[in-house]
Amino acid sequence: MRPILPGQTRPRHRNWRTSLIKEVPQLAVPVFLFLGRHDHTAPAELSEEFYAALQAPHKELIWFEESAHTPDLDEPERFQREVIKIGEAFCREEAMAAAGVAG
């Protein structure tokens, strides 16, 4: 398969053999999708469809406006802030639950 260059698009579903919507309809853990707005590897439409269909106790769609398929490399500072924010929020919820405090 040839790489997709900026400005090019891949025909929708051309080489996709698996449908995450069918294969992974639900997860029992929190889900965070980190998506680059300029990603041609995982098209936004497919990611949004999966997100909408997915059943999970908590889910978030986090867009990186200046990124392609690797927001951790394209926007490392923001990526790190988002991961820390998620970790802090879930650690706080765990601590409150352990202490018997409603959040």
DSSP code per residue over the chain = -PPPPTT--PPTTTT----HHHH-SB-SS-EEEEEETT-SSS-HHHHHHHHHH-B-SSEEEEEETT-SS-HHHHSHHHHHHHHHHHHHHHHHHHHHHHTT---
Is residue 30 domain-resident? yes
Is residue 19 domain-resident? no
- Number of domains comprising the chain: 1
Is residue 17 domain-resident? no
* Residue that the structure tokens 């269909």 belong to: 53
> Within its chain, how far is the Cα of 35 from the centroid?
5
Q: Which of 65 and 102 is assigned the larger pLDDT?
A: 65
Q: What is the mean pLDDT of residues 78-93?
A: 91
Where in the sequence is the domain holding 91, given as residue range(s)?
Answer: 26-98
Task: Give per-residue pLDDT as tens, 18-69.
Answer: 788 899 999 999 999 999 999 988 888 989 999 999 999 999 999 999 999 9
